Structure 1
Amino acid sequence: MKLIFLKSPISLILLVVFSTHLSAQEGVVTIEQDNDITKLLEYKKDVKTVDLYKIQLDFGSRSEAESLKIKFQNTFAEWPAEMVYETPNYKVWVGNFSTRLEADIALLEIKKKFSKAMVFEPKKED
């Protein structure tokens, strides 16, 4: 019986002594990547392969759309604005939102200044 009690403290002490000398392995990972991969990823971002959402501010004549676009850019610099012609009107579109939720969050902010704004999903060009 005494032998069991002697073994437990000794094994505990040995465990503590040896565990202080243990350490995890350390290493450095280097990634070598061809420059063409980076170019390809940038190209892929530009290609319209994903569903995007935009916000349309309003539509009307060319002069109305230009002034609306300038007013928007002066108010909100964080989202890009573009003027698009669809017969017979010029439209001002804002942003390239990857999700509907992202577009709706931006719409809440934009509607404070541009009450006619609405979210839509533009037709894909084939």
Structure 2
Amino acid sequence: MNLYSTTLLTLSIALSVSFSYAQQGTVTINKSSELDALLLIKKEMSVSNNDSDRYKIQIYSGDRAGADDAIKHFKVFYPNWNVIDLYDPNNYKVWVGDFRNRLEVDRALIKIKEEFRDAFRLKPKNKEKK
């Protein structure tokens, strides 16, 4: 009797385990059309160059020809980064990136300094008069 009950118990456990893994699941994702519009607005706000709370990295300061060379050289290594060519009286500056916080800009600066040793972090001041 003991052998019969042990065999029956083992068989019932084996069958219940085999059926428990036979479950199929489906996932349905319902996405609002407003979500796409909000994500697009957020993306446009994130890449705005008028935001004075963003950090930049200056890779060059000097004459126009040098600024053009710096931009071409930078785009070889970082083709997806935004580059700003800025004329300050008697000087051309090349700024790259648009970083939200100091940690992001410092991480990028470490990589950029491998090619541009004179690069440094800056946070542009808002030029608008209040």
Question: For this structure pair, what is the TM-score category when the shorter chain's length is used for normalisation?
Answer: 0.5 to 0.7
- Superposed CA RMSD in Å reads 3.3
Mapping of residues 65-104 of structure 1, within 5 Å: 65-86=67-88, 89-104=91-106
Query: Could you tell me how far apart the structure 1 residues matched to 2:91 and 2:28 are?
Result: 54
Larger deviation, residues 3-12 vs 104-113: 3-12
Distance 1:25 1:124, change over 3 A: farther
Query: Could you tell me how far apart the structure 2 residues matched to 1:122 and 1:110 are?
Result: 19
- 2:116 maps to 114
Q: Which amino acid aligns with 2:21?
A: S
Deviation at 1:83, TM superposition (A): 1.5
- 2:24 maps to 26
- Aligned residue pairs total 123
The sequence identity of aligned pairs, in percent, is 33
Query: Could you tell me how far apart the structure 1 residues matched to 2:23 and 2:88 are?
Result: 62
Distance 1:100 1:14, change over 3 A: same
Distance 1:33 1:58, change over 3 A: same
Deviation at 1:57, TM superposition (A): 0.8
Distance 1:37 1:25, change over 3 A: same
Q: Deviations over 1:26-71 (max 9, x none)?
A: 232232334342122122122148x643211122355543443233
Give the alignment partner of residue 57 of structure 1, picking from 38, 59, 69. Answer: 59
Unaligned runs of 5+ in 2: none
Distance 1:61 1:35, change over 3 A: farther
Larger deviation, residues 89-98 vs 4-13: 4-13
Distance 1:86 1:34, change over 3 A: farther
Unaligned runs of 5+ in 1: none
Deviation at 1:117, TM superposition (A): 0.2
Distance 1:122 1:24, change over 3 A: farther
Distance 1:76 1:15, change over 3 A: closer
Query: Could you tell me how far apart the structure 1 residues matched to 2:45 and 2:127 are?
Result: 10
- 2:35 maps to 37
